[in-house]
């Protein structure tokens, strides 16, 4: 990300920053948490975007032109504008690694810094994490539906602007896609790119057969032909088979065919039969066209013969839920070096925030399968040699007890930046994808199925539960 995104924020962040500056609070340390709320379409999410958040934080700098612009708004104190000249992000970042499976309410990232810095960065951090986590999650669902079939990300032309295509491709790979059509993403992220030809290629030759022959001549070892420009069954597939035979005579095995329209269940069953009978049982069938996890599931259930899924619009926009709704909430302030937890109440119980400086633990069984998560206060100790009971009425009354030797506990949140500096090198995208794969594999299918998945328990630790209860009671009685 080579652009200066320092002004990519909401105006009210700057008015509040100026306000805190003038109120003498500029050095007040605060903690803000990013988390997602419960949503009927989201049972779990796959985190993504941390690398871009770090890039953003490292590159924060108000240019002279930015400061001139802000001055022209006639809102800001001149000492505050002067202060912005040397502004840098000097805070701490705690976050789950990209590719982590996360549940509603769990802080996926926390910022600890002075209030001025914490306020500025809210909007861009939410923008980046909301977007990439949304698309990684959607990709995870699509790949889950494909049950091991390759899923290719094809959505650039329908993405909401260049970044949505570019970072959406990255997030899709984290979510489980095996390649993207997006060449810039391929180059920048070292991701496999895929694509062959469009209908216009076929239309630009006198006949479909000539178009296919030309393609096979140019790419003899990558012959994947789009067969639905004119008439899939009567022209496209027969012409493809003709060319496949010619390829084989020249010593090249064809890759397969792609269908982009029509009834994909019917057409791919017919196509499979035609290819098999012509002697090409290994030719792959790639399908595209308005696919998402639901249509893929339906096609699978219908016995459609599809090996490779090209998924575009509905993945790159997360069409059924195009925003994740992650929020950034104040959870503590420091006074004289001491943490003062903060809570935001609401008529709506699920909107009540979790106070304090927190982390998240995941409890696994001895086979390494995830059992439940605990949102806890920093400093609480969990000893695997002791029994662990989690039983707070957070979402359900489900009580879980883990005996020593039957469980392992792992902290999901790591320290990413300290005093504005990266603590450890960030993983590569390949490493993130591999980690995300293991993360997803550590959850039973019952938690991941699309239709009414099993409830995964996320509880509060004893310490956090008591703190929250006491704070609510105090406000209730005190006001």
Residue number with CB closer to its own copies (182 or 371): 182
> Least distance (Å) from its own copies to the CB of residue 65?
8
Q: Are 448 and 318 in contact (CB under 8 A)?
A: no
Q: What is the dihedral of CA 29, 121, 465, 373, to 10 degrees?
A: -130
Q: Which of 223, 272, 268, 273 is nearest to 248 (CA)?
A: 223
Of the candidates 351, 371, 450, the residue with the CA atom closest to the CA atom of residue 42:
450
As measured in angstroms, the least distance from the Cβ of 187 to its own copies is 4
Nearer to its own copies, 333 or 409 (CB): 333
Start-to-end CA distance of the chain, whole Å, equals: 47
CB of 126 to its own copies, least distance (A): 4
To the nearest whole angstrom, how small is the minimum distance from the Cβ of residue 16 to its own copies?
Answer: 5
Q: In what order do the strands lie in the sheet with 457-460?
A: 407-411, 358-365, 370-377, 457-460
Q: How far is the CB of 7 from its own copies (least distance, A)?
A: 4
| Residue 177 CB, nearest approach to its own copies (Å) | 14
Of the candidates 107, 102, 39, 35, the one whose C-alpha atom is nearest the C-alpha of residue 443 is 102
Question: Diameter of the chain by CA atoms?
Answer: 86
Q: How far is the CB of 369 from its own copies (least distance, A)?
A: 33
CA distance 384 to 457: 19
3-state secondary structure of 41: coil
- Looking only at the bridges linking them, the beta strands covering 308-311 and 150-153 are parallel
Considering beta carbons, is residue 341 or 370 the nearer one to its own copies? 341
Closest by CA position to 92, among listed 413, 460, 467: 413
Q: Is 197 or 362 the residue whose CB approaches its own copies more closely?
A: 197
Q: How many CB atoms lie within 10 A of CB 344?
A: 13
CA 293/CA 388 separation, integer angstroms: 37
């Amino acid at each position: 990300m080579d652009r200066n995104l320092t002004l990519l924020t909401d105006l009210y962040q700057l008015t509040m920053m100026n306000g805190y500056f003038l109120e003498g609070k500029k050095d007040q340390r605060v903690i803000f948490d990013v988390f997602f709320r419960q949503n009927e379409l989201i049972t779990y999410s796959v985190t993504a975007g941390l690398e871009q958040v770090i890039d953003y934080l490292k590159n924060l700098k108000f240019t002279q032109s930015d400061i001139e612009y802000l001055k022209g708004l006639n809102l800001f104190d001149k000492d505050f504008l002067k202060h912005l000249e040397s502004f840098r992000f000097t805070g701490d970042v705690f976050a789950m690694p990209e590719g982590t499976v996360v549940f509603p309410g769990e802080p996926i990232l926390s910022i600890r810094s002075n209030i001025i810095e914490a306020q500025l960065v809210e909007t861009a951090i939410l923008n980046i994490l909301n977007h990439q986590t949304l698309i990684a999650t959607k990709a995870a669902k699509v790949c889950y539906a494909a049950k091991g079939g390759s899923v290719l990300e094809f959505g650039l032309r329908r993405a909401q602007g260049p970044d949505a295509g570019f970072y959406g491709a990255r997030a899709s790979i984290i979510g489980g896609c095996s390649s993207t059509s997006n060449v810039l993403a391929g180059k920048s992220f070292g991701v496999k790119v895929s694509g062959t030809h469009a209908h216009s290629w076929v239309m630009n030759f006198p006949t479909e057969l000539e178009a296919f022959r030309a393609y096979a001549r140019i790419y003899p070892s990558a012959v994947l032909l789009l067969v639905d420009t004119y008439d899939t069954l009567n022209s496209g597939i027969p012409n493809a088979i003709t060319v496949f035979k010619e390829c084989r005579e020249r010593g090249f095995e064809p890759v397969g065919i792609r269908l982009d329209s029509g009834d994909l269940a019917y057409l791919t069953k017919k196509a499979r039969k035609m290819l098999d009978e012509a002697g090409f049982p290994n030719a792959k069938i790639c399908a595209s066209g308005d696919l998402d996890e639901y249509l893929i599931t339906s096609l699978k259930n219908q016995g459609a013969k599809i090996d490779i899924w090209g998924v575009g619009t509905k993945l790159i926009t997360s069409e059924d839920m195009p925003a994740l709704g992650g929020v950034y909430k104040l959870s503590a302030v420091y006074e004289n070096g001491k943490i003062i937890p903060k809570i935001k109440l609401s008529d709506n119980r699920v909107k009540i925030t979790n106070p304090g400086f927190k982390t998240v633990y995941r409890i696994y069984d001895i086979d390494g399968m995830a059992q439940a998560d605990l949102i806890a206060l920093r400093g609480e100790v969990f000893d695997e040699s002791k029994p662990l009971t989690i039983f707070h009425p957070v979402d359900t009354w489900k009580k879980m007890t883990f005996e020593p030797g039957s469980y392992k506990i792992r902290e999901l949140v790591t320290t990413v930046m300290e005093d504005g500096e990266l603590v450890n090198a960030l993983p590569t995208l390949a490493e993130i994808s591999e980690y995300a794969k293991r993360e997803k594999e550590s959850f039973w299918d019952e938690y991941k199925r699309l239709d009414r998945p099993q409830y995964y328990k996320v509880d509060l630790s004893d310490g956090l539960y008591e703190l929250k209860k006491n704070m609510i009671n105090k406000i209730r009685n005190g006001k």
